[in-house]
Structure 1
Amino acid sequence: MEVIQRFCKIYTDICKISTDDLASIYATDVLFIDPITTHQGLTEVKSYFNNLLEQAESCKFDIADIFLCARDDLSNSRVTHIANWTMKLVLKGSEKVITLDGTTQLGVSNNMIVYHKDYYDLGEMVYEHVPVLGFIIKKIKGRLAR
């Protein structure tokens, strides 16, 4: 099974994997970047996911598209694939579903992911769910949309 297929399978429901499963898709020296922070190496990525698994009741990704940008054996480009997705996250102790659209740039080399960079609206994921702050951010977005 190709690494992109393994990636899609693992991300179907992050809460149903163990952090050891991440070694089947991420290289030891993977660079993993999201809007919150950067993780260098598989050990840091496992730690990041361990924290997520402790806080999440459910974290499912519907990967709508995977686009091939460059073949890993023919390109010097860091990005070889683009994935568009919708995440549905439920935190422990909450019944509220946080739905978030995003995009991930992936770099594949030797059938392992060596580069992973997520793009999503951090405000939509975090800030809009803080009671007073969420109200203010939604009002600002509404004004800017006019």
Structure 2
Amino acid sequence: MAPVTTDPRVAALATAYTELTRASVPALLALYAPAAHFKDPFNEVTGRAAIERVFTHMFDTLHEARFVVATTVCQGDDAFLTWEFHCRGQASAPALLIRGASHLVFDEAGLVTLHRDYWDAAEELYAKLPVLGVLARWAQRRLRAPQP
């Protein structure tokens, strides 16, 4: 269940993400302006059709993909959502959990014009993969400041 917010634009978006399925992608896209800009660590696209391809690809390549919206904050036309993304790379693979946040900007019609996802691909994804994980964890140890 999405967190309660008093801003109807944010509440609708949080609910759409929490209930997102392949079939509900068009309903999610109806909350975006025709020329909306979307950026995450792997994609940077503009327009509803391009954003739809991002989500279609997600459902094509991942199993049990779902979002849990934890926090919503809104000030004027800017909103921030924190979320957890749950999925499996393969149906029999261990579940992955990615934590992140999204910055959203709404236009005067209440539609999303900017959607920017922030999450650490190295920590949240690469470090959890068998081969890349070894390299990612080694790099994290090398770059970490010494502890007293």
Normalised by the size of structure 2, how large is the TM-score?
A: 0.81
Q: CA deviation at 1:145?
A: 5.2
Which residue of the partner structure matches residue 58 of structure 2?
52
What is the CA–CA distance in structure 1 between the aligned matches of 2:28 and 2:113, rounded to whole Å?
12
1:52–1:28 distance in 2 versus 1, CA, 3 Å: same
Provide Cα deviations, 1:95-115, integer angstroms capped at 9, x if missing partner. Answer: 311111111100011111111
**Residues 14 and 56 (structure 1 numbering): CA distance in 2 closer, same or farther, change over 3 Å?**
farther
Contact in 1 for aligned 2:33/2:112 (Cα 8 Å): yes
Matched, 1:85 2:83: yes
- Report the count of equivalent residues: 138
**CA distance in 1 between partners of 2:95 and 2:49 (Å):** 29
SS at match of 2:99: strand
Q: Counterpart of 1:41?
A: 47
2:33 to 27, 33, 44: 27
5+ residue gaps, structure 2: 1-6
Distance 1:15 1:91, change over 3 A: farther
Q: Which residue of 2 aligns with 1:68?
A: 74
Amino acid in structure 1 at the alignment position of 2:17: Y
Which 10-residue stretch deviates more, 125-134 or 97-106?
A: 125-134
CA contact under 8 A between 1:30 and 1:114: conserved in structure 2?
Answer: yes
For residues 9-20 of structure 1, the aligned pairs below 5 Å read 9-15=15-21, 17-20=23-26
Could you say if the C-alpha distance between residues 15 and 57 of structure 1 is closer, same or farther in structure 2, counting changes exceeding 3 Å?
Answer: farther
Offset of 1:17 from its aligned partner? 3.7
133-142 vs 112-121, which moves further: 133-142
With structure 1 as the length reference, what TM-score do the two structures score? 0.82
Cα pair 1:15 1:58 within 8 Å, conserved:
no
User: What is the letter of the counterpart of residue 85 of structure 1?
Assistant: W
Q: What SS does structure 2 have at the residue aligned with 1:135? A: helix
Structure 1 gaps of 5+ residues are 73-79
Q: Which consecutive aligned stretches of 4+ in structure 1 deviate over 4 angstroms post-superposition?
A: none
The 5 A counterparts of 1:80-119 are 80-109=78-107, 110-119=109-118
Q: Percent identity?
A: 22
Confirm or deny: 8 A CA contact 2:70 2:81 kept in the other structure. Answer: yes
Q: Residue type of the partner of 2:110? A: N
The residue type equivalent to 1:120 in the other structure is W
